[in-house]
Amino acid sequence: MYIYVIRHGKTDWNSQRKLLSYTDISLNTEGIEECKEAEKIVRNLDYDVIFSSPLKRTKETTKIINSKQKEVIYDERIIERNAKSMEEMDVDSFNYNKYWTLEENKSFDSETVEECVKRVYEFLDEIREKYHDKNVLIVTHNGICRVISTYFEGFPKRKCIADKGQNNAELKMYKI
C-alpha cells in the first residue's frame, strides 16, 4: 500500500506569509499553475481513491490533479490545524517553531499539535484498515502534511515539526 500526500497549491495568504487554517480561500494564479505541473506527476501514479480536505484550496487542487477522474472523498479530519484567533497573523510575528512543537504550543490560542495529531492519526489508522489493499492519494494542507510525516517517520528528537511540511503542490510518498 502506498499513501501519496500532496499539499494544495499556493494561495495569496501563502505568498503573504499569513497563517492560514479554516479561512476558505482559493488558489491564486501561481497555485493553479503549480497544480497543473503536479498533475503531470500524479497522472503517472497508481492510486485508487483520493481523500481531500473540503476547503476551496484543496478542492481546487484535487480538481486540477485528478485527471484520472478517481473517486474523491472529502474528510474534515484533514482540514488544516485550527489557528483560531491567530488566523491571518504574519508567521514571522510569533515563535513559529514553538507553535509547531509538542507540549510547547499550548500557550497559543489554537488547536494544539496534540489535538491535531490525534485526529490525523485516527484518519490514517482508518485509511490503513479500510483501504489496506489500495493506494491512496491525500490532498491536504501544510500542517497536516507535517503531522502525516510524523505518523510514518516519527517525531524529531526535539519534538518540533515546523520544518516537516511540504511546498505548495509538492507530493510525498509513504509505503506501508
Is the predicted pLDDT of residue 107 greater than 90, yes or no? no
The C-alpha cell of 62 is what? Answer: 484535487
Contact criterion met (CB below 8 Å) for 159 and 99: no
Q: Does residue 176 lie within any of the structural domains?
A: no
State whether the Cα torsion 69-73-74-79 is positive or negative. negative
State whether the Cα torsion 37-163-102-14 is positive or negative. negative
Q: What is the pLDDT of residues 55-66, one digit of tens each?
A: 999 999 999 999
**Sorting pLDDT into bands at 50, 70 and 90, what band is 9?**
very high
**Mean pLDDT of all residues in 72-78:** 98
| 157-165 LR contacts (CB < 8 Å, sep 24+) | 158/101, 159/101, 159/102, 159/103, 159/104, 160/97, 160/98, 160/100, 160/101, 160/102, 161/100, 161/101, 161/102, 161/113, 162/96, 162/97, 162/99, 162/100, 162/101, 165/7
State whether the Cα torsion 163-122-3-142 is positive or negative. negative
> Which parts of the chain are beta strand (E)?
2-7, 49-52, 71-74, 136-140, 171-175
Q: Does residue 89 lie within any of the structural domains?
A: yes
> Which parts of 101-166 are beta strand (E)?
136-140
Q: Which range marks the domain in which residue 135 is found?
A: 2-171
Q: What is the pLDDT of residue 103?
A: 86
Q: Does residue 64 lie within any of the structural domains?
A: yes
Q: Please report, for the domain that includes residue 37, its CATH number.
A: 3.40.50.1240
Q: What percent of the chain has pLDDT over 70?
A: 100
Question: How many independent structural domains does the chain possess?
Answer: 1
Q: Which helix (H) or strand (E) holds 65?
A: helix 56-65
Q: Does residue 97 lie within any of the structural domains?
A: yes
Q: What is the pLDDT of residue 11?
A: 98
Q: Does residue 14 lie within any of the structural domains?
A: yes
pLDDT, mean over the chain: 96
Q: Does residue 17 lie within any of the structural domains?
A: yes
**Mean pLDDT of all residues in 127-144:** 97
